[in-house]
Amino acid sequence: MKPHLIAVDLDGTLLKDDKTISKRTLNSIKKVRDLGHHVMIATGRPFRASNIYYKQLALDTPIVNYNGAYVHHPMDNKWKIFHSTIDLQVAKKIIDTCNKHNIKNIMAQVKDNVFLQSYDETIMEFISFGNPTIETGHIKEKLKDKPTSILIHTSDENVDHIREQLTMEVGNYIDHRKSGGPWNVIEIIKTGINKAVGLKKVADYYNIPTERIIAFGDEDNDLEMLHFANYGIAMGNAIDKVKSIANDVTETNEKDGIAHYLEQFFKL
């Protein structure tokens, strides 16, 4: 079988609810790689919060972070980095728009520099991965560089309203998606950027055509990636919108959905 490219989302997909990778999934991915196929991570997380899983899987492929806004090869410094940022004035407009409504927090990320509007112990636990520089308070004033992404933390019932306001105010400049993990947030990146953009760059690097691409996902920010792949696979726990555009639906992240699909597809 010719080499395939397999892209996996992290939260709610590769990872179980306790943020670990099951032994069965680890084993199936190793077997697939031993057959000569390429496995890569495509996530909304920054690299510092996904590197632990990259190492656990012993990957040697490029990685897509920030939902496609940052793509690089951790094992090859000569690989051309792709980094797409949000215009600074647009970022400040986003902050102003969100502060008019009932949000819990705002976080702007300039690569590994993090600007957090309000201190939150739960969020701090997550964003501390990789020891980034973290500044809290007065985010609009402290933000001096174009951010890679902005995260908006709000209540579940307020997500749709905030997204509508963002579309009205700055919709021509950004794309925004809802992510369920590690906590419910609205993820904002530059318009036209998504996981499929990063996936295509990696596919071109390996010279793998779309018909030999498999992608797994569960959330709003996985839609383009699953649509782009010839085999777009929704997890059993995926939102309905993802399942509706997927080519197939596997088991949930808690029931080794990725392993279940790979074992059947590659006859492991």
The residues annotated with a catalytic role in the active site are 9
Q: Give the integer Cα–Cα distance in Å for 10 and 48.
A: 13
Residue-by-residue DSSP string for the chain: ----EEEE-IIIIIS-TTS---HHHHHHHHHHHHTT-EEEEB-SS-GGGTHHHHHHTT--S-EEEGGGTEEE-TT-TTSPPEE----HHHHHHHHHHHHTS-EEEEEEEETTEEEESS--HHHHHHHTTT--EEEES-HHHH--S--SEEEEEE-GGGHHHHHHHHHHHHTTTEEEEEE-SSS-EEEEEETT--HHHHHHHHHHHHT--GGGEEEEE-SGGGHHHHHHSSEEEE-TTS-HHHHHH-SEE---GGGTHHHHHHHHHTT-
* Of 128, 152, 129, nearest in space to 139 by CA: 152
